[in-house]
Structures are given as C-alpha cells and as structure tokens.
Structure 1
C-alpha cells in the first residue's frame, strides 16, 4: 500500500512523498525500515490518534520500484524558540514580552522526527547499503521541505538524530543549510551482566552504599505490572500532570488516549509498572520494549507521598530485574537527569538537533544566538559519584 501524495517529489527511479496518516503506509513496510525498534508503526499510530494538542503528524517516505526504502516520521507545530532555555532572567523576559506579543519567538515549524520518540532515526530498508542512503535521504528531505513550504512553515528541523550519522547524511544536511543546535543524549545501560549482584559489584562503593540505603523501603512497596489502566487511569493522569508541572522543559502534553493507547495497541510490547503503598498508587512507570530493548517512557509519582520510599530508584532496579528475567540486553532510560543515570552505570549516546530558517538573514541570526537555546543537561556528569539529590525522584522522562 502506497502513501497518498500530499506532497511528492520525483527523482529518477524514486517516488518521494509525505503521508498525513501512517495508516496510508503498510505496517510491515514501515517496520522493515526500523528493524528492532520498539517505537515503530503501532507506537506512532497511537501517538497520531492520541489527540496531542498543537501537533499535526506526517510521514516522509521514499519508494523505489514500489517498495518503501526510506522513511522518517515528522510533525508540524508552532514552536517557541525558548523551549529549551534554562530558567532565568532571559526566559522570564520572554514570558513578559509574550503577554504583549503572544507569538514572540514562536514560529511555524516542520520537523523530521517525533516529539514522542526517544530519537529521530532515519529508517532504511535492510537491503539499502550505506552508499545508497545519501541519494534516498536527499529525495526524502527535498520532498519534506516542499511539504513544509506548502504548510507555510518558515522553520525546518531534524530532531534528536543519533550521532554519528553516515557521511552522506551529514553532507545532505549541511548542503540544505541546516545548522546544528545541540541535543540531549540518550542514556542507556547495557545489560551485559548475569544477575543483580554482578551489577551492584560494578558500581562504586559509595553508590552501592547509597543504593542499599535507598532500597530499604522496598518491602513497604507493592509493584504490579498492568497491561491496561482501567480505573487507575485518572490517578495515573494526576501523577503525570503533577510531575510534568515540575519539569523545566515542556514540549508536548500527553493525553489519556496516549497512555491507554500504548497498552492497547502494543500488547506484549508494553506495560505499566505501578507502585503502591498501603493500596495507594504513588507512582506509575510506562514502558515499551522489543525483544532486546526496554525503553522507560515515563516515570511519574506523587512527590510528597512517594519521596520517603525512593520510588525512582526502586523503579530503576525493578526495570533492570525485568531485563534480566526476559533476556533483554539494553535498558534505555531516555533523556535528562544524567548525573544519576551515569553513576548507576548508564552510557550516553549523543543526539543532534538541526534547524534552518527559510530566510537566509534570519538563519544567520538564529545560528548566532543558537548556543543560548541549545539543550545541555550533561554538565556535571563528571561529578556523578556525588551524592544524588532527591529531586530526581520527581522525574518525568520526556520522549
């Protein structure tokens, strides 16, 4: 099944087009371009149907001989340039100006990637060698830019592209005038140990001591794995909104349909770990997985009632235990809060943001001020062995 040509670009032998619904693309065709990816077709369909305000989702594709050979999700939104600014005087000043000019530093954006996935992977059919990727990505990017122009988007971007990229992909991005902005790395822990004792032995003595102290409350907490939220949905959403309100960076706001939809549309590949104390639900952890990778999508908790039980750390070890039990080799805990993740053994894979304004003068201006808007939470990870602050217990992991 071929996507409807909302925007199409013709390159000899290639048919590039943008679909406005992933249902216009065959599930198997899409998933073949993203082998082993937990956030594949069914996940993206759930995101599309979740009613997330302010986003129009789309899907850039390239076909060759009737077969899907390259693909990438995308979205259209109005983007506030100060989204990734650290709290402080500059951000406060922008907020004040928005009271007078609501659209100040807010531009219509067309972005490749998804606001709800961990990274912005470029998908290629397994038969596509690296030498062919440059031409296919060129066709995909040309088509998406035509689509963006038709939607009157002045700002284009690629979100969270894992680094390093193939030389041909990098050449294409640069040739199209995109500038790097700096992105937030993805934290992940290789599960290359046979049991929890071996994992503990790899941690520093200070971290082991701290974790054993934090996990003393484990016996007071009941953990349940749920594949549907049912009557717990209102409480889960309460925990989500409470946790989100404490986050400095807010992009998309997820809906009940997102949380319910993930569990319904990904049976056997998703679950919600719920943390109870005296039958009171104090934390919920939404996870998705493939055969080998467990992705921690969102951990949200009652900050006041949950803090004494160190539920964030309990969830960390609970998730590692799940990986060990099911033979998974990668626990991916996402972006942000790197200090604690690194001290618990995580590695950081860099991601890059790229942006381009259609006006060359404004693009030069944005390049000049881009360091102020770059997201960087990795400062201080070299001090990861310092005693962790309890603020991380209020974590909500962004997608």
Structure 2
C-alpha cells in the first residue's frame, strides 16, 4: 500500500512522544537504540541540545525518519589534544563564540550511528526521493532556527548511491567520522574466543584476568544508592577523554534502565565494598551495545577492569544467545587486538555561506577525528 502512495507529508516534530512508538520502530528494524532510547535522551535534561525528529508520511503512514538536534557546535570538538587545541582553548576564553556555530544536525549525539530509517514496505529505489524530501524539510527548519551549519552525523558507510547523490547535491562535504567497533559472537565458548587471539594477546589477557578473583561483579537493573558514585566515575572518565560532546545526566542513566526494562542493565565492579567501575549496556535479541564504561582510574587500574569488563560482556553474549558485541567509538587499537572489526561512519557538513563552506572544506582534515587512522578496517568494509 505504501508504495502506491506518492503524496509526501514532511514534518519536523519537537518530541518523539508525538510520534507513534510502533511506527517509529518499524522504520528502524533490529535497532537497539530505538524509540524508547531516544525518548530517554530527550527527557534526560542534557544541556545545550534541542531535540527534534525529521519524518516523512505518505497516506498517513510513517515511511522515513531520523532523529535530529540543534546545538552550538565547537568545530574543534574532534581535534586531538595538542598545541592547536590549547591555543583555540585560550582564545575561546577571550572570544567565547570562536569557532562555535549554531548547528542543525540529522542524527543524534547519543546514538552509536546515524541510521536513516525507512518503513520496510518502501522499495529501496524510493529511498532517495524520501531522503531528499526529509533533508529539504530539515534544512528549511534549520533556516528558521538561524543555524548556519548543517550536518549529518555518523552515517554508516557505504551509503546507497541514491543517498550519496542527495548528500552531494545538497552541498555537504565529508568531515570524516569515528568508526564503530564490533565483535561477531560466532564462537561457542570463551576458550574458542581465546583461540582466535594471537599468542601474545592470549598470554597478556590471561595474565590480566588473574585479578578477576579479587573483583565482585554485579548486574543491576536499578542504580539505587550507587547512582552518585556512578556519576562521579562518569564525570572523572569524561574529563579524561580527549573528545567531549554531550554531558550525560543522572536522568539519562536512570532513564535507560527504567524506560528499557529487559533491554538494558548496568554491570558494577567492586573490590571489597568499593565500587570501582560501572558499565551501562543496552541490547536487543542479537546485539549488545556498550554505552559507557567508567572507572576509578587509580584504584581500578591494578585490577585491569577494562579488560575484565570486555570478557564479562562477551560472556553475557554467550550466555544469552547474542551474536554481536558492539563496543562503540574510540580506543580502537585494543578493540582490534581483541578481535573487533571496524565499520566506517561519516560526518557530513555544510555551511550556508558558500565562501565559508569552501574554507571549511580546506580545513576539514585538521578537525576530523582520526584516532582510528592506522587501525585496519574490517575486510568487508575496507
């Protein structure tokens, strides 16, 4: 029925609560970060962001959708730590708006990728037309919000030729993106997984995991009295990170567990009575996503808690029949060493002023996140 309807109704909605839950999720089949996750993000009080949702309806049916947001974006967000970033930071103390532009972006700062959602009944050859309508509508909305910079965030690669054509026709330039690391759980047990690692990695991991007997691991679906300590660990971990975009809130962490029962949990790592690390996870029937791992760096390091959490998560996948462990963006060297593949994502941008856009194209390589440079992509994606 949807394929014979041609009258499109494009909309920008300020709350996902105004969209039918099942309609949205049908456009993103198999996506763990679906309606309930986005609703949690929207209501978590994350500072500096306004949320919206770009949709296309045909005959009253939702046929295409993407989350979106508006913010003031610092162009040096993805710059590596160093002299250039330090200079920009000092200048920004004098000129707060330096290299900071009002941004309207399709995608979400809180999801792993910026997937384009299409209703399964829509033929692939119509995706280009629907995306064209959606993008045009969103750009019109961005102009009303006086956003001079437009973007598409973390679009999985490669995109279909029609989608790529729309992006280029609208004048967007690639900025580079951080790939997604994931491990196929296509082995029967932990011994089989170890057998796939190199001899040196196996030896190193077995040595690191000796500390396991000193650590108590608990799975929680409510934070309870642990939330203040978890937020302390989160803020300390975030401060240590080179890249900082959104700052998550207690309402985000609590909301994930409350809004996604049976599809989320937090693994807590104790030594004695002291909570040293926490790992927030979301999942569906086949994919486990590591949303955030936070740790007391000084007290936790002797127990190799990052590696312990890695194997704990693989064990969870094995015990629950999940076939993909997605460990997110950053720290790629360790993840590839442990068997992960990397699939590329792309960030696209466009400034409304053609002269500024040409300038941004020239300087884009300096602002692209390149932690994964030199780390091999998966053979299927390279």
Question: Hey, what does 1:170 align to over in structure 2?
Answer: 164
State the alpha-carbon separation in 1 of the partners of residues 99 and 6 from structure 2: 40
Shift of 1:98: 1.1
Question: Hey, what does 1:108 align to over in structure 2?
Answer: 102
Residues 348-398 of structure 1, C-alpha deviations (whole Å, 9 max, x = no match): 00000000000000000000100000011113436xxxxxxxxxxxxxxxx
State the alpha-carbon separation in 1 of the partners of residues 309 and 374 from structure 2: 24
State the alpha-carbon separation in 2 of the partners of residues 128 and 188 from structure 1: 29
Question: Hey, what does 2:196 align to over in structure 1?
Answer: 202
TM-score (structure 2 length as normaliser): 0.96
Specify which of 244, 247, 255 is matched with residue 249 of structure 2. Answer: 255
Question: Hey, what does 1:360 align to over in structure 2?
Answer: 354
RMSD: 0.9
Shift of 1:87: 1.1
Matching of residue 39 in structure 1 with residue 33 in structure 2: yes
What SS is found at the alignment partner of 1:345?
coil
State the alpha-carbon separation in 1 of the partners of residues 52 and 305 from structure 2: 37
State the alpha-carbon separation in 2 of the partners of residues 229 and 378 from structure 1: 33
Specify which of 126, 130, 134 is matched with residue 140 of structure 1. Answer: 134
Structure 2: runs of 5+ lacking an equivalent: 377-382
Question: Hey, what does 1:187 align to over in structure 2?
Answer: 181
Shift of 1:12: 5.8
Shift of 1:286: 0.1
The total of aligned residue pairs comes to 372
The more displaced of 135-144 and 372-381 is 372-381
TM-score (structure 1 length as normaliser): 0.92
Pairing 1:273-288 to 2, within 5 Å after superposition: 273-288=267-282
Residues 80-130 of structure 1, C-alpha deviations (whole Å, 9 max, x = no match): 000001111111111121122110000000000000000000000011121
Matching of residue 306 in structure 1 with residue 307 in structure 2: no
What SS is found at the alignment partner of 1:245?
helix
State the alpha-carbon separation in 1 of the partners of residues 359 and 150 from structure 2: 15
State the alpha-carbon separation in 2 of the partners of residues 68 and 150 from structure 1: 24
Q: Does the CA contact (< 8 Å) of 2:16 and 2:52 recur in 1?
A: yes
Q: Does the CA contact (< 8 Å) of 2:6 and 2:58 recur in 1?
A: no
State the alpha-carbon separation in 2 of the partners of residues 201 and 95 from structure 1: 47
State the alpha-carbon separation in 1 of the partners of residues 203 and 337 from structure 2: 12
Shift of 1:276: 0.5
Pairing 1:66-105 to 2, within 5 Å after superposition: 66-105=60-99
Specify which of 35, 49, 52 is matched with residue 46 of structure 2. Answer: 52
Specify which of 17, 22, 25 is matched with residue 23 of structure 1. Answer: 17
Question: Hey, what does 1:391 align to over in structure 2?
Answer: none
Q: Does the CA contact (< 8 Å) of 1:339 and 1:380 recur in 2?
A: no
Q: Does the CA contact (< 8 Å) of 2:286 and 2:321 recur in 1?
A: yes
Shift of 1:141: 0.2
State the alpha-carbon separation in 2 of the partners of residues 229 and 152 from structure 1: 40
State the alpha-carbon separation in 2 of the partners of residues 380 and 152 from structure 1: 39
4+ aligned runs moved over 6 Å, structure 1: none
Matching of residue 117 in structure 1 with residue 111 in structure 2: yes
Question: Hey, what does 1:341 align to over in structure 2?
Answer: 335
Matching of residue 291 in structure 1 with residue 295 in structure 2: no
Q: Does the CA contact (< 8 Å) of 1:57 and 1:74 recur in 2?
A: yes
